[in-house]
């Protein structure tokens, strides 16, 4: 059984991006429900709560442009899931973290390195990548 589990884990890490499809509609729904309050409906950092935050929300549509035309996948995932805390929310980001929990899903970074995260975050990442401006 351990050999089978090891094989499955290796296969998922190797082919993770192809194994788990992103649901862009679910990603957009998650964004509007949990992120737009601070980052705004247009994701440009102008949400209704932005004015009271110590650290102003970033323009999420420019993440790729501000990072050498490479979407900062690992950094964004780590911010959302709390592994890279951002204290502008009064607590580590996200304050809605438990909504993004779920079974670990491998997701490939632009360098090809897999990172484990949940399916809701995979969906949210798909949405965020789809709104990048160049």
Q: Note if the pTM is more than 0.85.
A: no
Contact by Cβ (8 Å): 49, 37 = yes
25-64 burial, b at 16+ Cβ within 10 Å, e below that, comes to: ebbbebbeebbbbbbbeebbbebeebeeeeeebbbbbbbb
Cβ 59 vs Cβ 45: under 8 Å:
yes
Q: What is the DSSP letter of 88?
A: G
* 106 close to 114: Cβ distance less than 8 angstroms: yes
Per-residue pLDDT of the chain (134 residues; tens, 9 = 90+): 444 344 444 444 444 444 457 888 999 999 999 999 999 999 999 999 988 887 888 999 999 999 999 999 999 988 888 777 666 555 556 566 677 887 888 988 888 989 999 999 999 999 999 999 96
Distance CA(114)–CA(57), nearest Å, equals: 27
Strand partners, 105: 117
């Amino acid at each position: 059984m351990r050999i089978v589990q090891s094989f499955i884990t290796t296969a998922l890490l190797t082919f993770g991006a192809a194994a788990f499809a992103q649901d862009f509609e679910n990603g957009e729904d998650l964004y509007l429900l949990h992120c737009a309050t601070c980052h705004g409906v247009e994701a440009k950092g102008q949400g209704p709560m932005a004015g009271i935050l110590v650290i102003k929300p970033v323009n999420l549509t420019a993440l790729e442009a501000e990072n050498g035309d490479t979407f900062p996948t690992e950094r964004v995932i780590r911010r959302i899931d709390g592994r890279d805390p951002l204290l502008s929310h009064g607590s580590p980001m996200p304050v809605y973290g438990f909504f993004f929990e779920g079974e670990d899903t491998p997701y490939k970074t632009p360098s090809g390195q897999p990172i484990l995260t949940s399916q809701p975050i995979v969906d949210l990442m798909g949405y965020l990548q789809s709104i990048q401006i160049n």
